[in-house]
Amino acid sequence: MLAELQSSIGDDVLIGLGQAAAAIALCAAIMALCAWQAVHVGLEAAISIVRGLVQMVLVGVVLAVLLHGSLLIGSVILFMMTIAAAVTASRRLKGMNGAVLMCFWSIAAGAGTIIAVMLATRSLQPEISALVPVGSMIIANAMNSCAQAIERFRAEIAAHTGHIEAALSLGAEPAVTVAPYLQSAVYASLLPRLDMMKSLGLVWIPGVMAGMVVSGTSPVYAGIYQFIVVAMILSASGITGLVATALMRSRAFSPAAQLLLRPADAASSDRAD
């Protein structure tokens, strides 16, 4: 294990650190330009840059150590990523009991289902070198879909509280009263992924395809595989958005069909953010 770690630290790493320093210098210059225009993001940008570099170096070290690990080790890594994603997404629901668990089940349902399908169809190899990078992309997009869906759903309920309560007073089922807002929330969570699919190959060539082409893979196959990955990301986002809004809908009403999610709750959560 130590030998694998040492072999990963060579001249290319030193060159990479030099290139990273140049990238940091460019970011610093842009932040200085922003400060000149009274856009004060210097401290936050500095923290983000340092954190991003440290995190990616640590990821590289871990992958260098575990590059030839088993499917079990890769699954544990993805499980920990899912927990971190759930904690991040749950910040949109401060004050709601069980928000982290709700986000975890939503992200796990979307990302877990798609990763399992990709493994079963051999679209994704069980080696850590392939499983973790591709799996992390799917989990990250599921996290974003979860956060966007629950935030939009909460905002829609807060904006239409009067309509919902009027419908409830007339005997409508809770699920029926919020159905249009659930649909709107799921669509909003899918829209970035739909735009990503539309622009695929025209506006951008994603990193997976670029890396495969550089490594000598057929460009045609690399393009097909990149499409598969983006399609799986779209599918994972759809599952996550549906599960997240369904779970949140069940928490929005009491057993007596009373609306529990009030506009004041949404406003207090926004202030906390």
Helix or strand or coil: residue 37? Answer: coil
Residue 272 is predicted with a pLDDT of 45
**pTM of the predicted model as reported, rounded to 2 decimal places:** 0.75
Tokens of 64: 């260098």
Domain residue spans of the chain: 7-67, 70-265
CA dist 161 → 29, 147, 198, 269 (Å) = 47, 21, 35, 17
Residue 271 is predicted with a pLDDT of 47
Tokens of 150: 């629950």
Helix or strand or coil: residue 8? Answer: coil
Residue 48 is predicted with a pLDDT of 87
Tokens of 214: 């550089």
- If the chain, 273 residues long, is cut into consecutive pieces of 10 residues, what is the mean pLDDT of each piece? 51 79 88 82 83 84 68 86 93 80 95 93 82 90 94 90 87 89 92 87 69 71 84 93 92 82 55 47
243, amino acid identity: V
